[in-house]
Amino acid sequence: MEQNRIAIGLDIGTTKIVAMIGRENEYGKIEVLGIGKAKSLGVKRGVVNNITQTIQSIQQAVEEAENVSGLKIDTVTVGIAGHHIRSIHHSDYITRQAAEEVIDEADIDDLINQVHKLVMLPGEEIIHVLPQEYKVDSQADITEPIGMYGGRLEANFHVVVGQVSQIKNIGRCVTNAGLGLSAITLEPLASAEAVLSNEEKEAGVALIDIGGGTTDLAIFKDGIIRHTAVIPFGGNVITEDIKEGFSIIEKQAELLKVKFGSAWPGENKDNEIVSIPGLRGREPKEITLKSLSQVIHARITEIVEQAYLEIKNYGHDTQSGKLIAGIVLTGGGAQVKHLKQLVEYITGMDTRIGFPNEHLAGGSDEALSSPVFATAVGLLMEGLEKLPEAVEEVVEEIPVAPEVPVFEKVIIEEENESVATEKLEEPIEPPKKEETKTVKKSFFERFTSGLKDFLNEAE
């Protein structure tokens, strides 16, 4: 088995941390070779609040995945979420000097790099710059401008922004767990990759990923990402409500929610009762399933209404923004009984539960197709997608190291960190047009290695 054809997705969630090792089989499906899970103790609402505990949980999950697969993990694709994430829409343009030449990847790269120079609020950093439609001279609604003639290249962008400190905290946890960072991806984008079909993205769809600490939203229309949001509530808040409402411990509340909970109180009869053992010889508690479902219903309604508000803000009510494919629910919270019916009732939109099994190879463990693993499968897919490019770049660029522009240089240095500081001080020529294919591909590598340098200096 070729070691370099393997990728690892690391989902740092609020309730669990999942490490998933896999490769692509000859049919283009994902073959999961190993999976490791650990309880996430240092993350709250998608944000790291205890570095030491998070590092331990990552190591535990990675160790388990390594034992199952018999492989050694070195670099991972990690997901980022949390209530500090926000998205903005931005338009930008460049005026091309050589208008008589066709537009190539270098021009698009110049435009994207220009957006990266946007001034953010203090303490914020751009995570993703996602082009939507392009405009060449006066011709609008172009999805692929490469190969066209034009003097002015313009585009609308969906820009995802997050707190620098939170991004660095995640990077710190991963590097201190003894792992390299190959890419950082927004979690709703990874989940969307795992559970949405191209037809749904084309028709218009909203993905709602109900996790433990946050609910992530991603909206697609005409095959393009249109809106992303992170709502700071998830399944943990429901457990908390049950715990407070019935004066029971968290473990019992979680068990009640998973085994007997429903998002639709009308489904339960008044005489359906569950008995909870009392603590240390105290009397057992009797809870009616109807009252349990009422507590769950109240909190899930709040989460769904917030998500629906984001969908309306995007413009679902307008003719051009209508989401024909409706809503897809995924994540651990999507397993609550009758959730699909409740969401359809609140929003009036077609709804289905999203399982990541579409991209998994036949014969995969049935547990892997649970909505719980949607983000991990998406991150694994993201890692595999980058593999051929990364291998090509390293093989092609090593022989001509002295002429390598700054961004490509960083990739090589990632392989050999001991020379990183000396090389970066050398004068570096700007990228040439014919080299820009590599530059475009390696934006995440640039971001990741910049983060790596920062972490090394901090030590």
Q: What is the pLDDT of residues 287-325, one digit of tens each?
A: 999 999 999 999 999 999 999 999 998 888 888 889 999
Opening angle at CA 374, ends 372 and 376, nearest 5: 95
pLDDT at 52: 93
Who's near 325: CB < 8 A, 6+ residues apart?
Answer: 199, 200, 203, 204, 205, 350
Q: How many CB atoms lie within 10 A of CB 280?
A: 4
Mean per-residue pLDDT over the chain, rounded: 83
Strands 124-136 vs 139-142: parallel, antiparallel or unpaired: antiparallel
Tell which residue, 29, 28, 31, 119, has the closest CA to residue 71: 31
pLDDT band at 390 (very low <50, low <70, confident <90, very high): very low
Q: What is the pLDDT of residues 206-247, one digit of tens each?
A: 999 999 888 999 999 999 999 998 898 899 999 999 999 998
pLDDT at 433: 43
What number is the average pLDDT over the span 322-347?
93
pLDDT at 315: 83
Who's near 106: CB < 8 A, 6+ residues apart?
Answer: 431, 433, 436, 439
DSSP 230: E
Measure the CA–CA gap between 156 and 377, rounded to whole angstroms: 29
Q: What is the pLDDT of residues 358-369, one digit of tens each?
A: 888 877 777 888
pLDDT at 456: 58
Percent of the chain scored above 70 by pLDDT?
Answer: 83
CA 398: distance to chain centroid? 31
Q: Give me the DSSP letters along 78-147.
A: EEE-STT-EEEEEEEEEE-S-TTSPP-HHHHHHHHHHHHTPPPSTTEEEEEEEEEEEEETTEEEES--TT
Q: Which two tokens stand for residue 227?
A: 């809106």
- Helix runs in 360-442, H state only: 374-397, 406-415, 420-424, 436-441
pLDDT at 388: 55
- The one-letter amino acid code at 138 reads S
pLDDT band at 347 (very low <50, low <70, confident <90, very high): very high
- Residue 445, H or E segment: helix 443-458
Measure the CA–CA gap between 262 and 338, rounded to whole angstroms: 6
pLDDT at 400: 40
Domain locations in the chain as residue ranges: 85-161, 201-353, 404-459
- The sign of the CA dihedral 31, 36, 39, 43 is negative
pLDDT band at 402 (very low <50, low <70, confident <90, very high): very low
pLDDT band at 406 (very low <50, low <70, confident <90, very high): very low
Domain spanning 201-353, CATH architecture: 2-Layer Sandwich (3.30)
Cβ-based burial of 156 (10 A; exposed 0-12, middle 13-18, buried ≥19): middle
pLDDT at 173: 93
Which CATH code is given to the segment(s) 85-161? 3.30.1490.110
235 or 418: which leads in pLDDT:
235
Q: What is the pLDDT of residues 158-200, one digit of tens each?
A: 999 999 999 999 999 999 999 998 888 889 999 999 999 999 9
pLDDT band at 459 (very low <50, low <70, confident <90, very high): low
Cβ-based burial of 274 (10 A; exposed 0-12, middle 13-18, buried ≥19): middle
Phi, psi of 14, rounded to the nearest 5 degrees: -80, -35
